[in-house]
Structure 1
């Protein structure tokens, strides 16, 4: 069986799409066509029929929608799986033109996310969010299946969806533990780490401000990720950082786990925006998998995980003083910090492992394929 996976927004090596879902499909015996933006020089991935798209700015991305549609039609796939709300129209066309099942993977609460987008004029955000809500509602009703990346998304879409699977973005422990690391990064002192999209609403500027308040001269702050160029307050961040703050470009996933393991704590300082209130950041679980304590914003889903696992400290969102105090506490109490990290690792292994989520994904594929091809004994179930 052949699956065609499409994205025009995420990088080709996206953690959820490539490292978790596509590798799960390959292990289950699927042939995979993968349509995704790729930098120059990336035109092959082992075991995958890669269709590289040129990385384009937001204003020109519609060109890639049509490229993705053409490539999808040529793939002769038995099932299609797309990962961006901007591809909902492409999903409708693939369903109508091929008669094959199409799955929409919902990574976040997109209607709420529209309210936080600085590139959308403030007066238009409610209308854009409302339009997104209607468009997404139609998508999960019309398309054959949908995947929710966390329980809150599942609850929001469960009623209108034809067939919805909750496939949380948990940690692939095996992949995480075999990552090889980044040879060019050799820290000589304790460091705090933030890995992910670098934007003000995710608290990156708070990290820098809190770190500057510390009195420790032998500590560093490491920020890893892509700068959000639509965020005016963070666009010029690289030219404003203190000497002890390192800024690294976004790295392939296989380089991240060793950087986490060597740090003294992982930071999740998200602001209390509508989209973050019901989000469980993947970086939180990755910090826990790396056996390091977490310092995180006291938001509902984050609070539930951190308190249940006893794996770190919670701070008021946007409170730089509390964030600085939590960082100092970790440095002053190394034995307690180590125990927090150990408890976080145990929680991931026991409750937040990708293995269980992979089975849910394969079950959805199997159900859709059997429905579209009567009598099929689908390899999607791993049978």
Structure 2
């Protein structure tokens, strides 16, 4: 059977979609992932499944979403397929219309609570448009998944559809591979942030905190809307020797870098249900790499950190709170050893090998044979 997975990104760093694609491939499916081609897109020739990246005239805003969905719809309609998956709301219009036209199965994987992201909080009209699209289509989707239990419950209440919870857990086996880094940093403990460099992720406050942290360096591994502003702020604070930006990295490079870190941060603010209920990829990547964490005390992340005792929670994302927590983590060597031991237990349980059965079950219900 042929399964097409549609995304709006360029596929290269979408580990969730890559993991699901690999799982379906092992089940004997003919898997194709379709996304977009950007000027700075990383190579994906190493991926084990087929892929298609669409070049666009527009790369931001309403014209981007309109152009991509039109081009995606046309491309999907001429492809033979048994199941097509819309990854996130921004691919759902094209996927749903194509599946309805061709009378094939649509699957919806909501990577986040799309209408509750911080970027939409103060953009009421845009939020209403996305909410209307979601309410018009999701009630007609019979096979759906998302990333955390509270998001699943909220979507189920809104649209009376069942959502399978499939968390963003990394592969356990990949930790056995070690890759050389292609860049160097000062020989100090590394505080790492990995992921999208966007608003309300505590990065501005983390950079401010680095004024008071001289015994470690901060590495921001990723790209996003506010990276330019953050670089300017780092320069203005004269922190170029303490804060480093790598841009987007291939998964093997990111893994190698994360494994060398002393602390992993995930400092999302409580702005909108998307962040409140978040279970980010990076949290589980830190765990798999054996890195103690400093995270916001938001409900879902708090549960993980407290259940396994693998780091520190902060109630307020402020430079002062961050600085105090970082110093405490680096100075309390006995507690740090306990976290490191507990991380081994957490990593053994929170891995893709234990989660992918949910993917197989979902797609078998959708018709995968």
TM-score between the two structures when normalised by the length of structure 1: 0.86
Match for 1:272 among 258, 265, 270? 270
Task: Tell me how far apart the structure 1 counterparts of residues 16 and 281 of structure 2 sit (CA, whole Å).
Answer: 9
What is residue 347 of structure 1 aligned with on the other side?
A: 346
Tell me by how many angstroms 1:153 deviates.
Answer: 1.5
1:235 & 1:97 partners in 2: Cα distance? 47
Write out per-residue CA displacement over residues 86-107 of structure 1, whole angstroms, 9 at most, x where no aligned residue: 2221122112221110111101
1:189-338 aligned at under 5 Å gives the runs 189-216=188-215, 219-229=216-226, 234=230, 236-237=232-233, 239-240=235-236, 242=239, 243-274=241-272, 275-338=274-337
Measure the CA separation in 2 of the matches of 1:286 and 1:225: 14
Contact 2:148 2:167 in 1 (8 A): yes
SS in 2 for 1:171: coil
Name the CA distance, whole Å, in 2 between partners of 1:168 and 1:284: 11
Deviation digits for residues 236-291 of structure 1 (CA, Å, limit 9, x no counterpart): 45644612211111112222222112111111122221221111122111111111
Taking a change above 3 Å as real, the CA distance of residues 280 and 10 of structure 1, as seen in their structure-2 partners, is: farther
Q: Do 1:12 and 1:38's aligned partners in 2 also have CA atoms closer than 8 Å?
A: no
1:75 is aligned to 79
How big is the shift at 1:303? 1.3
1:339 and 1:181, CA in 2 relative to 1: closer, same or farther beyond 3 A? farther
Whole-angstrom distance in 2 between the partners of 1:239 and 1:223:
15
**1:92 corresponds to which of 92, 96, 100:** 96
Detail structure 1 runs of 4+ shifted over 6 Å in the superposition.
Answer: none
Using the alignment, how far apart are the partners of 2:44 and 2:300 within structure 1?
38
Distance 1:266 1:43 in 2: 26
Q: Which runs of 5+ in 2 are unaligned?
A: none
* Residue ranges of structure 1 left out of the alignment (5+ in a row): 370-377
- Structure 1 SS opposite 2:366: helix
Post-superposition Cα deviations, 1:272-316, rounded to whole Å, max 9, x if no partner, equal: 212211111221111111111111111111111111111001112
Matched residue of 1:75: which SS?
coil
Preserved contact between residue 80 and residue 103 of structure 1 (Cα < 8 Å):
yes
The question of whether the paired residues in 1 share the 8 Å contact of 2:147 and 2:279 is answered with no
CA distance in 1, matches of 2:263, 2:242: 16
Is the Cα–Cα contact under 8 Å of residues 290 and 347 in structure 2 kept in the other structure? no
- Tell me if structure 2 keeps the 8 A contact 1:105–1:147: yes
- Cα distance in 2 for residues equivalent to 1:256 and 1:94: 36
Change (3 A) 1:187 1:28: farther
Structure 1 pair 177–273 and aligned structure 2 pair: CA distance change class (3 A): farther
Deviation (angstroms), 1:15: 1.0
1:17 aligns with 2:17: yes
Q: How many Å apart are 1:203 and its aligned residue?
A: 0.7
Aligned residues: 360
Say if 1:134 and 1:49 are closer, same or farther in 2 by CA, change over 3 A. same
- Residue 80 of structure 1 deviates from its aligned partner by 0.3
The SS at the match of 2:109 is strand
Q: 1:273–1:10: structure 2 CA closer, same or farther, 3 Å change rule? A: farther
Q: 2:127 aligns with which of 126, 129, 135?
A: 129
| Closer, same or farther: CA 66–181 of 1 in aligned 2, 3 Å | farther
Q: Secondary structure at the match of 1:104?
A: strand
Deviation at 1:138, TM superposition (A): 3.0
Q: Residue 60 of structure 2: which of 49, 58, 61 is its match?
A: 58
Answer yes or no: is the 8 Å Cα contact 1:295–1:315 preserved in 2: yes
What whole-Å deviation, never above 9, does each CA across 1:343-377 have from its counterpart, x for those lacking one? 12312322x222232111111111111xxxxxxxx
C-alpha distance in 1 between matches for 2:193 and 2:47: 30
- Farther-moved stretch of structure 1 (314-323 vs 45-54): 45-54
**Are 1:151 and 2:149 matched, yes or no?**
yes
- Following TM superposition, by how much is the alpha carbon of 1:77 offset from its aligned partner in structure 2, in angstroms? 0.8
- Residue 186 of structure 1 and its aligned partner are, at CA, apart by 5.2
TM-score normalised to the size of structure 2? 0.89
Q: Please report how far the alpha carbon of residue 335 of structure 1 lies from its aligned counterpart in structure 2 after TM superposition.
A: 3.7
* Contact persistence 2:22–2:48 (CA under 8 A): no
Give, in whole Å, the separation in 2 of the partners of 1:363 and 1:96: 23
Residue aligned with 1:152, SS: helix
Please report how far the alpha carbon of residue 137 of structure 1 lies from its aligned counterpart in structure 2 after TM superposition.
3.0
